[in-house]
Homo-oligomer: A and B are copies of this chain.
Amino acid sequence: MGKKTMISMAVVRRLPKYYRYLGELLRNDVERISSKELSERIGFTASQIRQDLNNFGDFGQQGYGYNVRALYEEIGKILGLNKHYNTVIVGAGNIGQAVANYTNFERLGFHLLAIFDRNPKLIGISIRDKVIQDVDNLEEFLKSNHVDIGIICVPKEQAQKIADIFVRCGIKAIWNFAPTDLNVPDDVIVENVHLSESLLTLSYRLNEAELFKEKIGR
């Protein structure tokens, strides 16, 4: 009996962490693991682990636990890692170059097809065998190449314009590093990486105790 209900984002965001921990267990030749043991390592409750996994199927076995390799592979499939994705990066500045050079993504099945920038000083330079192309060629490129994921690494002022091109060319998933929110149709998925929001969260937490000490004093 299949469940058609969409999975909550809270669950989805834990999946990559399961995958990472199971990969480590696998590399350490651990064959089986109970939700209780995994709980102690990963820091979620055993109950939550069982609930999470049961969203996708019955991967465990009573009295035994979970087979590490089988579960690792199942979660890999759930995450879509049995597939291959073509990506392009737009913006070859610091972050664009960092993402381009992160070879681990290639290993996971994310294949970088091309990099674009509008800066003449960068156009023509190679990053990992990819010549940086003029962003004016982006739309044409997307029309003649199938791209699954568009990666935006341009300044925030240009981000929406690039997103519009992506949408127009049928890209359904955008990985956005620009510090802004993108407007896209409902069928296009945007995953944001907002570094400065992460840093501000850190500075908030660093000051939190103090913040409320002052309040109490009032």
Contacts and interface: CB of A to CB of B under 8 A. Distances in A.
Contact of A211 (B43, B78, B200, B205): B78
Given A79-B204, A204-B12, A199 B108 contact: yes
B200 A16 contact: yes
Interface in A53-81: 78-81
A41 to B, nearest CB: 9
Give the secondary structure class of A's interface: helix
Interface residues of A, number: 64
A90 B112 CA distance: 27
Interface string A142-155: 00000011000000
A30 interface: no
Given A4-B212, A97-B98, A175-B198, A148 B206 contact: yes
Nearest to A190: B202
A158 to B, nearest CB: 15
Nearest to A151: B199
A55 to B, nearest CB: 10
B195 A13 contact: no
A193 B95 CA distance: 13
Nearest to A149: B202
Interface string A174-213: 0100010100000001010111111111111111100110
A173 B202 contact: yes
A141 interface: no
A187 to B, nearest CB: 10
